[in-house]
Chains A and B, each alone.
Chain A
C-alpha cells in the first residue's frame, strides 16, 4: 500500500467513528433535563415563546426526522446558529479554531524545546545530581495543575513585572508569539514533563543497543553517534507520545484560554456551557473529534517516515 492509499483508507476508517459521534452529539442536547427550549430560554417565558423556539429548532418533529435533518445539515457544514451570539456555529468555529490550534502547537513546541535538551542531558549524566535535579523538576511539572501554573505566570510575569501582556491575543503572527508565550508555557509544561520522562528512558535503552556500540567502535564522534544513531531511534516513541498528547493539550487549552482570556474554542466551550448555548457546545464537541482524528492520522504518518520498518496496514 502506498502512502496515499493508506491515508485514504484511514480517512474512510474515520467515517463510522464520526457517525457514532454525530448521533451521540445529536442525543446530547435531547438528553437535557426538561425540553431544550425551556432550558435555553429559562423558566420565566410564555408557552408561545417555547413553542416558537421548538419549531425554529425543529424540535416539534419526530426524533428520526430530526436526526436525518441534523445529519444533512452537518454534511453541508451547517452546525446551527449560536443562540447568544446570533452567528452560525460553523463561522464561530472557523474563526476561533485556528487560535486554539496555534496555541496548542506553540505549547507543543515549547514542550519539545524544554524536554529534548533536558532528556539528553539527564540521560547522559545518568545517576548524577544533574539527572536528579532535572527529574525532580519535571516530576513536579507532572503534578502542577495547568490553571495554577497559568494563574501564577500571569500574576508574576504579566501583572507584577509587566514583561508580558495579561491576556488576549495580538493582531499579527509575531505579536502572537509574544502574547501567547505565557499561555503556551503553562499549557506545555505538563507535556514537557511527560516527554522528558519518556525520552530519557528511551535514550537510556538505545544507548545499550549493539548498533550504538558499533558506531562508537567505528570511531565516530560521540556527537554524531548521539545525533544520528541514538536520538533518531529514541525519538520514535516520543513522537507517538507527542501526537497522542495533542488531544490532551487541546483539552488543557480550555483552561489556559479561560485564565488568559484568549478567544479560542476552549473558552467558547466554557462560555457556551454557562450561556446554555447548546448548538455551539454540540458543534465544538464534533470539531474536537474531527481535529484529533486528523492529528492521530498525521502522527501515524510521521511515524512511518521516522521508522521505515513500520508497515502501512
Chain B
C-alpha cells in the first residue's frame, strides 16, 4: 500500500497594495469630520445657537476665526456643530439604500424571473427622473425636514445599489462554487448568504463611499432650498442659505460653511476612490 503525501499548500499571501497618499489625506480629513460630529461641544468655542447681539456681522478675527452672522452667532462653531448634522446626512441617506439595495439586488439577481421583471420596471421608472427632482417631488408630498428627506432619498436610492449588485450576482450565480453548493444540497438562502453575497458586495461597498459624498451634497442642497434641515439648525447648506443675502457685506457667513462642505465631499470621494483601488481586483 502506497501512501501519497499531499504537499502542504501554503496559503498564498494576499498582496495588499500600499494605500495611495490621496486615500491617506481623505481618510485623515474624514476622521477630522467624524471627530467634529461626535464631540462638537469639546471643539467649538461657542454653542451653535448662542446669540450675541453685541457682535453682529463681525469679520473674521482672532475671537471669531470665521466671523459672526447676523445674529452674532460664531460661524466657526456653527460649522463644527454642522458636522454632526451633515455626517448624519451622509450616513442616513446611504445606510438604508445600501442595506436594502444590496439585499434586493442579490435576491433578484439570483432568482431572476418575475422578481427581475418587476425590478426592471422599477428601474425604468426611477431612471427617467433626475434623482434630485424625484427626491424633491417626494419631499413635496411628505413636507420639508430632515426625516422626510431621509425617507425620500432612501425610497429611491436603493435602486442604484440593487442594480449594481444584481448585475454582479448574475455573473456569479453560474460560477462553479455556486454549482458546487447546489450539488452539496445547500439551501438557496445559505448559498446566497454565505457564498454569493460576499462575492458581490464589494462594488456596493465601493459605491457606498462615493454615494456618501453625493448624499452629503444632496442633503446640503435640499437644506439650501429650504426642503431639508430647517433653520436655525446648524447644517452647512442651511448656513449657506442663511448668509446668501449678506454675500456682498458679510461674505464669511456663507463662504466658510460652503468650503467646509466641499472639503467634506472631497474627503468622502478621495476615500471612495482609494477604497476602489484597494478592493477592486486588478485586471
B13 at the interface (CB under 8 A from A): no
B129, A147: Cβ atoms closer than 8 Å: no
A interface footprint on B108-135 (CB within 8 Å = 1, 0 otherwise): 0000000000000100110111111100
Segment from B41-49, B168-176, B187-195, B248-256 that makes contact with A: B248-256
Which residues of A are found within 8 Å of B132, using beta-carbon distances? 248, 251-252, 254-255
Q: A139-B266, A151-B254, A292-B128 are in contact. Are A285 and B133 (CB under 8 A)?
A: yes
Bound state CA distance, A159 and B137, in angstroms? 32
Q: A143-B265, A285-B137, A292-B129 are in contact. Are A152 and B255 (CB under 8 A)?
A: yes
B interface footprint on A266-281 (CB within 8 Å = 1, 0 otherwise): 0001100110001001
Within 8 A of B (CB), among A69-104: none
Bound state CA distance, A271 and B251, in angstroms? 26
Segment from A16-24, A59-67, A206-214, A224-232 that makes contact with B: A16-24
B262, A143: Cβ atoms closer than 8 Å: yes
Which residues of B are found within 8 Å of A293, using beta-carbon distances? 128
B272 to chain A, nearest CB (A): 10
Which residues of A are found within 8 Å of B127, using beta-carbon distances? 296
Which residues of B are found within 8 Å of A142, using beta-carbon distances? 213, 265-266, 269
By secondary structure, the A interface counts as helix
Using a Cβ–Cβ cut-off of 8 Å, how many residues does chain B contribute to the interface with A?
42
A289 at the interface (CB under 8 A from B): yes
B240 at the interface (CB under 8 A from A): yes
Using a Cβ–Cβ cut-off of 8 Å, how many residues does chain A contribute to the interface with B?
45
Bound state CA distance, A251 and B132, in angstroms? 5
Bound state CA distance, A274 and B264, in angstroms? 30
A31 at the interface (CB under 8 A from B): yes
B105 at the interface (CB under 8 A from A): no
B266, A159: Cβ atoms closer than 8 Å: no
Q: A140-B266, A148-B258, A255-B225 are in contact. Are A17 and B130 (CB under 8 A)?
A: no
Which residues of B are found within 8 Å of A17, using beta-carbon distances? 121, 124-125, 128
Bound state CA distance, A278 and B121, in angstroms? 26
**Number of residue pairs A-B, CB distance < 8 angstroms:** 124
A255 to chain B, nearest CB (A): 6
Within 8 A of B (CB), among A201-258: 247-252, 254-255, 258
A251, B224: Cβ atoms closer than 8 Å: no
Within 8 A of A (CB), among B197-229: 213, 217, 220-221, 224-227
Bound state CA distance, A12 and B137, in angstroms? 26
Bound state CA distance, A258 and B127, in angstroms? 24
B9 at the interface (CB under 8 A from A): no
B133, A143: Cβ atoms closer than 8 Å: no
Q: A20-B121, A285-B137 are in contact. Are A248 and B128 (CB under 8 A)?
A: no
Which residues of A are found within 8 Å of B124, using beta-carbon distances? 16-17, 20
B240, A20: Cβ atoms closer than 8 Å: no
A145, B125: Cβ atoms closer than 8 Å: no
| Residue in A21, A31, A249, A273 whose beta carbon sits within 8 Å of that of B136 in the complex | A273
A-B pairs with beta carbons under 8 Å apart, 11 shown? A139-B269, A142-B265, A145-B224, A148-B254, A148-B262, A154-B247, A247-B129, A250-B133, A270-B225, A288-B128, A289-B128
Question: Can you add 8 more A-B contacts, CB < 8 Å, to A270-B225, A274-B226, A296-B127?
Answer: A17-B124, A145-B217, A148-B261, A250-B133, A255-B221, A269-B133, A273-B139, A289-B128
Binding site for B on A (CB under 8 A): 16-17, 20-21, 24, 28, 31-33, 139-140, 142-148, 151-152, 154-155, 159-160, 247-252, 254-255, 258, 269-270, 273-274, 278, 281, 285, 288-289, 292-293, 296
